[in-house]
A = this chain, B = another copy of it.
Amino acid sequence: MQTERRSLLKKLAASFLGVIGFGLATKANTNSKEDKQVFNVVSDQDVPLFSGSTKYNGLVFIAGKGAHVEPFEIKAHTEIVLKELEKELIKAGSSMEKVLKVTVYLNDINDYQGMNEVYKGRFGKKPPVRSTIAVAKGGVPGDSLVEMDCIAMAIS
Contacts and interface: CB of A to CB of B under 8 A. Distances in A.
Contacts of A123: 48
A129 interface: yes
Nearest to A106: B139
Nearest to A138: B109
Nearest to A144: B133
Given A100-B56, A110-B1, A153-B56, A127 B44 contact: no
B156 A34 contact: yes
Given A33-B31, A58-B33, A133-B135, A5 B50 contact: no
Interface string A123-145: 11111111111111111110000
Contact of A129 (B45, B136, B149): B149
A50 B139 contact: no
The 9 closest A-B pairs by CB, nearest first: A64-B131, A134-B139, A63-B129, A50-B130, A47-B121, A61-B101, A38-B126, A131-B149, A47-B120
Given A5-B112, A64-B129, A133-B141, 18 more contacts: A36-B98, A36-B153, A41-B125, A43-B120, A44-B116, A50-B128, A50-B130, A52-B129, A53-B129, A54-B126, A61-B100, A61-B151, A101-B151, A109-B136, A132-B141, A134-B135, A136-B136, A136-B139
